[in-house]
Amino acid sequence: MADTSHLDWPFLDDAHRDLAGRIAAWAEAEIAPIPDDEGAHDDAALDAACRALVAKLADGGWLGYCVPAPHGGHFERIDVRNLCLIRETLAYHSALADFSFIMQGLGSGPISLFGSDEQKAAFLPGVAAGERIAAFALSEPDSGSDVAAMKTEAVADGDDYVLNGAKTLISNAGIADQYTVIARTGEAPGGRGLVGATASGRSAEVGEARPGRSRSRRARYRRSSHR
């Protein structure tokens, strides 16, 4: 049994304690790590396990903590303490369950926080329902924690922006239905002039381009973020 004494800390209230009890009971019954001999190191098996976990987390109602109401979420604002309580319990049982949960939140987070009503309605309900798998593409081969060094460009093309660049270490790449891609508009150097664009579509569409050069013709550009 994990130590739960932190649930008495003053910044957690009864609703948090109730949530911690519910996710603990649910995870105990529903979540088990993938045994080593059942494809824990096989990419296809892991992809399938990840999809199954996202569906299961949606069924349990847990993805409703990753997005705001009224777009499939339980509350108007995402409560980070709820996310922490859910994550620690999922991770206790299975690292992949924690990963599957939080990537739904991270991959859709910029839309929840800064997206237009149209974007929220288009992308968030599917994330909460486990029908759309989300990814977040920030890191590049030559810019990890030094985000200001990123090179991926967002180039205006009619109503859309075309993304040109290379991303790396992107969780859910290959199975995601939507990618929030951080890219450079060229309007300012360094940490300025960066935008979050939402690229919709299976990764096959995004990954079609030559190695080292990923494109999405349907990237949507939202001016209000990362200025």
Measured CA distances, 168 to 119, 143, 145, 223 (Å)? 25, 9, 12, 24
Residue nearest to ligand FAD (CB): 144
CB of 196 to ligand FAD, least distance (A): 12
**Which is nearer to ligand FAD, 136 or 161 (by Cβ)?**
136
**Which is nearer to ligand FAD, 77 or 202 (by Cβ)?**
202
Alpha helices in 94-137 (DSSP H): 95-114, 117-128
Which residues does residue 182 pair with via DSSP β-bridges, in sequence order? 196
Can you give the binding site for ligand FAD, defined by CB under 6 A?
A: 136-139, 144-146, 169-171
CB of 139 to ligand FAD, least distance (A): 3
Kindly state the tokens that stand for 119. 């974007």
CB of 144 to ligand FAD, least distance (A): 2
**Which is nearer to ligand FAD, 10 or 212 (by Cβ)?**
212
H helix or E strand, kind and range, residue 57: helix 43-59
Our separate counts of H helices and E strands in the chain read: 6, 6
Amino acid at 179: Y
CB of 106 to ligand FAD, least distance (A): 7
**Which is nearer to ligand FAD, 20 or 150 (by Cβ)?**
150
207 phi and psi angles, rounded to 5 deg: -85, 0
**Which is nearer to ligand FAD, 2 or 41 (by Cβ)?**
41
CB of 46 to ligand FAD, least distance (A): 12
* Residues 6+ away with beta carbon under 8 Å from 195: 154, 161, 182, 183, 184, 185, 221, 222, 223, 225, 226
**Which is nearer to ligand FAD, 73 or 98 (by Cβ)?**
98
CB of 167 to ligand FAD, least distance (A): 7
Kindly state the tokens that stand for 158. 């009619």
